[in-house]
Amino acid sequence: MTFNKKLTVAAIALLGMVGYISWSGNQVNKAPDVALRLINEGPTSLSKLRENKQLLLVFWATDCVPCVREVPTLIRLHQNYSGVLTIVAVAMAHDPPDRVWQFMRDRSLPYKVSLDLNGNVAQAFGVESTPSLFLIDGAGHVIFTHSGRLKSDRLEALIEKQLHREPV
């Protein structure tokens, strides 16, 4: 293949990728409406949990040190924003339900905790590591994602910014 042919093929491939991303842009940031099983509350859906509120979906595990370190931040966010923000901590499939239950009781977690027994929720969001979080607006758009430990002030600033944003 000559240099010009290679350049042409590369340019076409690049334009195709840009076109696809532009075309699917509204679909990419929409949160999947997955079914969740909440401890103490039973089955629900993501769309029901985010009705008229922002939703902070946090994927975690009891054996994840950064996840455990973020618990006080999540408790504080729940206390400060419970009227406008729903927090759901989704326990990863490898975490035994009895250990999640015990962790929840020992720390008196005030926010919602979900078991992802089959890993379907993590798979729907493409989660590969913990902690991973998704901030979702009331319309179901993922407005922020992060994998790894996040400074609480940055997350709170994002929540505040979204709360004071003009409706679209």
Expressed in percent and rounded to 5, the helix, strand and coil fractions of the chain are: 45, 25, 35
Q: For 114-118, what is the mean pLDDT?
A: 95
pTM: 0.78
Contact 110, 74 (CB under 8 A): no
Encode pLDDT of 58-83 as tens digits. 999 999 999 999 999 999 999 999 88
Structure tokens at 1: 């293949």
pLDDT in tens, 96-114: 999 999 999 999 999 999 9
